[in-house]
Amino acid sequence: MDFTDKIALVTGSSSGIGAAIAKELAAQGATVALHYRSNPDGVNQVAEEIRRQGGQCDIFQADVSNADEAAAMVKQVEKALGGIDILVNNAG
């Protein structure tokens, strides 16, 4: 699929399935908002891999089990990247 010009928010993207989904979306052209709660090293590694392959991404931290933090993160993503077209809820 071609996700060029799409913005994807992937929660829990610092490792495992979330990281794999984020990398694949980036490989298919999406700009990816990488979310993490407590693994900055992991999410930075994922971001490095995406950028090394020519992809675009940005990193956002929040505890999405807290509604206020989740809402604030969504606003940050929208402000930084211009919106959200794709949401992958993988946190937890």
The pTM assigned to this predicted structure is: 0.97
Question: What is the predicted pLDDT for the residue at 2?
Answer: 96
Name the amino acid, one letter, at 30: A
Task: Give the integer Cα–Cα distance in Å for 22 and 33.
Answer: 8
Banded pLDDT at 38 (limits 50, 70, 90): very high
State whether residue 53 is helix, strand or coil.
coil
Q: Where are the domains of the chain?
A: 7-88
- Check residue 7 and report its DSSP letter: E
CATH number, span 7-88? 3.40.50.720
For 8-32, the pLDDT digits (tens) are 999 999 999 999 999 999 999 999 9
The pLDDT of residue 48 is above 90: yes
30's CB contacts (< 8 A; 6+ apart) are 3, 4, 6, 7, 8, 85, 86
For 67-91, the pLDDT digits (tens) are 999 999 999 999 999 999 999 999 9
